Structure 1
Amino acid sequence: MIETADTKKNNSLNKISASFLISNEDIILEYEVSVEFFPQISDHTNLKGISFIDTLAPSLGEGNINKIKDILTEREAQIIEFNINVNKEQKFYEILISFLPNNQIFIIFRNIDNRKQMEFDLEKERVKLKNILDLNPYAIQIYNNKGYHIYENQAFLDLWNARPPKDFCVFEDQNIIETGQIYAFNDVLNGKTVYLPNGEYDTKNVFPDRDSHIVYFKAVVFPIFDKNKVVESFAVMYENITERRLVELELIESEEKLRKSEENLILLNKELEQKISDRTKKLKESEEKYREAYNLANLYKDIFAHDINNILQNIKSSAELSSLYLNSPEKLSTIKEFNVIINEQVTRGSKLINNIQKLSHIDESKITLNPVEVCINIKESIKFLQQSLPNKNINISVDSFPGEILVLADNLLLDVFENILFNGVRHNSNLNVKIGIKISKKKNKGKKFIKFEFTDNGVGIEDTRKDYIFQRGFGNKSKKGMGLGLSLVKKIIGNYNGEIWVENRVEGDFSKGSNFTILIPETD
């Protein structure tokens, strides 16, 4: 065999099965054939001086021989692959055909069984991976590191109804750039995995000739590295949330329609109220007086009906339970407890009627203010509370500066103190109810005030409710509603040119109880 520097190098790297040096007339000049390659030739035949084509035709087959003839005719160096049966075993070879300057042809047969086996194994893995990707319920798309689409699974086609055109580049997609999603694809080229929690894409951006088709999705974009840990491509895995998102959008649209309907109803109700107000104005001397009367009538009706129903129901239940135990002497203490409940409810009903009458009186009358001694009213309100709730363990402490304390008020000041104290007990789940009353002096905007602070260890008032508890009717639908009492208190204090507000007894924790603060102008 004739060896050149190139063939020696190839011999060191690859297994050469046979080599031939032939003339332009297809005559074999030199050759070397390994034992496994055409064993009948290497063992028994001297090939010099005979036709190369004729010698190999029976073993290579007509198709492979024709390919070699074409190359020899075209006189252009090429490499071709073929497979033949050697000793009943399929073998893979490649033929390297080179044309030498001296009108000779050098032909090398190289066994590529190992390479073919590797290719076969890789193809099996590729098919296996493709099957895994195609059967994956999530849509998967793969781009090369230039941003051009190179693969999609069936779920991707089902999701987008098409594959991107060959000239589509994700880094040039205006929709992705304008929505800020481009950062995900830039980051993934740096080896990062990026999540897109809420994506929205219209396929019309890729296919302008198609109708708009919007897909809502969640996605994860992750890099694919080569053996040198360089990002050679990246994949996008989509979760289709279109159906869920459309339901959400329908819900938002329904909520918007409902909101507008509510606004229309409110507007209609306001128009109706205005018509009623206009009719009332024609029938009465003062529009303001009778419009307020109309609103108050509804307020009193709602509050009175609700609270009286609760009171009557409590009395009825207590009376019925008491009647069950009348013939059981051992239940005498229980009957007494029910009797106490009945008395408390009667007192509560009487107080409710008085409050409504007083609230009506305040709205209809002009208030005359006079100096009122504070401590006397505090003592009277404490006494009334303890008499009204004898079975409650109530501890009340008073912290005041010495001497007579006078404020500009009237006889309704007593009701203010009683309302605050009763609220501190009613909204208190502790066995030992504690109420503290602190009286001090305060200057506000150059005016002198007496400051009252009523602290309790009750359930407290959530911050979101603090601004509303003094409004008329607030809480009147609650079983423990204090809307009427605090509305009365707010009205009375307002007529005194004073202020009232509520804070947490312990800063930052409403559940530790409340602190009602009242400012009333002091008299000299």
Structure 2
Amino acid sequence: MTCKGYGDGQQGLLDNMPAGIIIADRHMKVAAFNNAWSEICRECMGKKMERGADISASMDEEVAKMLAQAIHGKKAEASCHQLEKAKDRYFDLIAVPVMGGGAMLMAVESTKRCQEMKALEAAKSEVEFYVDLMSHDIRNFNQVTMGYIELLQLSGALSDVERAYLEKARKGVIDSNKLIDNIKKVRLIRQFAGKKLARMDLCRILVEDSREVGGVFPKARISLGFDAKEPRYIMADEYVHEIFRHIMENAVKYDPHPEKLIDVTLKPVKRDGRDYWSVAIADHGTGIPDEKKSAIFERMSRTTRGAGVGLSIVSVIVGKYGGRIYVEDRVKGDPSQGSVFTVELPRGSE
């Protein structure tokens, strides 16, 4: 199979390579190939490889396209590609320019890996379908249940105890709907958060979020202990608001006092040689015991802060931004005096 321009030594080197290799000249003609590529052509394209053949007319369309790009100086790659007639075999392809003009393409079989990837994608799609289906149907059932609860609450023949039970049932339905929303939100965040980051002013984010929470919870008294006029930049996206709003909302919900006091501070910190902005949100709530501090960030954890996916969502987003989150006692050694949630996010360019 020695080709013109390629000596026995060079051809032997090509043939000893396990990957399929084809070399094209600058005119898109076959200059050389190895035994592995010859076998790929025969088994996967039903064609016999010949030197001097026109690649554009005789090759798999993707292979011809990649070689053409490489001849013009542009490296080309393709993963899990199926050659023309090889519907059950996959190859990873890479084409690169060669000295003196022309290009070389290498084909490495990746059938097992690609089949496993496609099986995982199919399983993921099936799971998402069932989650969507269940979420839709459960929400419909909840609406029916809520309708009957509200009708019963209109009755004048209920005792105070019965009304209290109905209110608990109503709250359970509301929490069920919130859990459905959070599960859907987790899916979106895991798929899209952190993919397209932009420079954002952390001060403006905290001001907006504190106003939002204050509007929903009139008893909240949120104190911002920093100069909001001085920008502090981070790299984030629209999901950043989920972090601080959720922590502030929890600070209100789990504070038994008539007035809900929340203190927000912001300062620069350095960790592992990198600069971060550290946001500390302190509350006066019921606190979190030491043995449960790490568990509250785990998915579907059940702690003194209730059950759900809220703080796990926050943890995922912070991780997507390359930061970290942790919780400590507001009064060291006394969890009952409230908590301080600290979020550290990498500093963006000024």
TM-score range relative to shorter protein? 0.5 to 0.7
Q: Where does residue 309 of structure 2 map in the other structure?
A: 484
Q: Where does residue 438 of structure 1 map in the other structure?
A: 265
User: 1:303·1:484 contact (CA, 8 Å) conserved in 2?
Assistant: no
Q: Does 1:377 align with 2:173?
A: no
Instruction: Please list, as runs of the form range in 1=range in 2, the aligned pairs for 1:449-464 lying within 5 A after superposition.
Output: 449-464=276-291
Q: Where does residue 426 of structure 1 map in the other structure?
A: 253
SS in 2 for 1:403: coil
Which residue, out of 505, 508, 513, partners 2:330? 505
1:482-507 superposed Cα distances (whole Å, 9 cap, x missing partner): 53111100010000000001111111
SS in 2 for 1:285: helix
Deviation at 1:354, TM superposition (A): 4.4
Q: Where does residue 397 of structure 1 map in the other structure?
A: 223
* CA gap 1:303/1:353 in 2 versus in 1, 3 angstroms: closer
Q: Does 1:324 align with 2:152?
A: no
1:385-441 superposed Cα distances (whole Å, 9 cap, x missing partner): 233334xx2211111145012111100011111111111122222222111111111
Provide the C-alpha distance between the structure 2 equivalents of 1:372 and 1:294, rounded to a whole number of angstroms.
Answer: 37
AA aligned opposite 1:380: E
Number of aligned residues: 228
Which residue, out of 184, 191, 213, partners 1:357? 184
AA aligned opposite 2:263: G
Which residue, out of 236, 244, 267, partners 1:409? 236
Q: Does 1:368 align with 2:196?
A: yes
Normalised TM-score (structure 2): 0.53
* CA gap 1:312/1:512 in 2 versus in 1, 3 angstroms: farther
Q: Which has the higher contact order (CA 8 A, sep 6+)?
A: 2
Provide the C-alpha distance between the structure 1 equivalents of 2:241 and 2:338, rounded to a whole number of angstroms.
Answer: 23
Provide the C-alpha distance between the structure 2 equivalents of 1:313 and 1:506, rounded to a whole number of angstroms.
Answer: 43
Deviation at 1:508, TM superposition (A): 0.6
Q: Where does residue 319 of structure 2 map in the other structure?
A: 494
* Structure 1 portions without partners, runs of 5+: 1-280, 327-334
1:260-292 superposed Cα distances (whole Å, 9 cap, x missing partner): xxxxxxxxxxxxxxxxxxxxx9686153x5667
Which residue, out of 114, 118, 137, partners 1:285? 118
* Structure 2 portions without partners, runs of 5+: 1-113
Provide the C-alpha distance between the structure 1 equivalents of 2:243 and 2:171, rounded to a whole number of angstroms.
Answer: 23
* CA gap 1:407/1:308 in 2 versus in 1, 3 angstroms: farther
Instruction: Please list, as runs of the form range in 1=range in 2, the aligned pairs for 1:183-202 lying within 5 A after superposition.
Output: none
User: 1:299·1:472 contact (CA, 8 Å) conserved in 2?
Assistant: no
Provide the C-alpha distance between the structure 1 equivalents of 2:134 and 2:305, rounded to a whole number of angstroms.
Answer: 15
AA aligned opposite 2:284: N
AA aligned opposite 1:382: S
* CA gap 1:304/1:444 in 2 versus in 1, 3 angstroms: farther
AA aligned opposite 1:425: V
1:199-244 superposed Cα distances (whole Å, 9 cap, x missing partner): xxxxxxxxxxxxxxxxxxxxxxxxxxxxxxxxxxxxxxxxxxxxxx
Provide the C-alpha distance between the structure 2 equivalents of 1:324 and 1:362, rounded to a whole number of angstroms.
Answer: 46
User: 1:427·1:480 contact (CA, 8 Å) conserved in 2?
Assistant: yes
AA aligned opposite 1:320: L
Normalised TM-score (structure 1): 0.37
* CA gap 1:284/1:514 in 2 versus in 1, 3 angstroms: same
AA aligned opposite 2:225: D
Instruction: Please list, as runs of the form range in 1=range in 2, the aligned pairs for 1:139-218 lying within 5 A after superposition.
Output: none
SS in 1 for 2:296: coil
Provide the C-alpha distance between the structure 2 equivalents of 1:304 and 1:494, rounded to a whole number of angstroms.
Answer: 30
Instruction: Please list, as runs of the form range in 1=range in 2, the aligned pairs for 1:286-301 lying within 5 A after superposition.
Output: 287=120
Provide the C-alpha distance between the structure 1 equivalents of 2:182 and 2:337, rounded to a whole number of angstroms.
Answer: 29
Provide the C-alpha distance between the structure 2 equivalents of 1:344 and 1:377, rounded to a whole number of angstroms.
Answer: 32
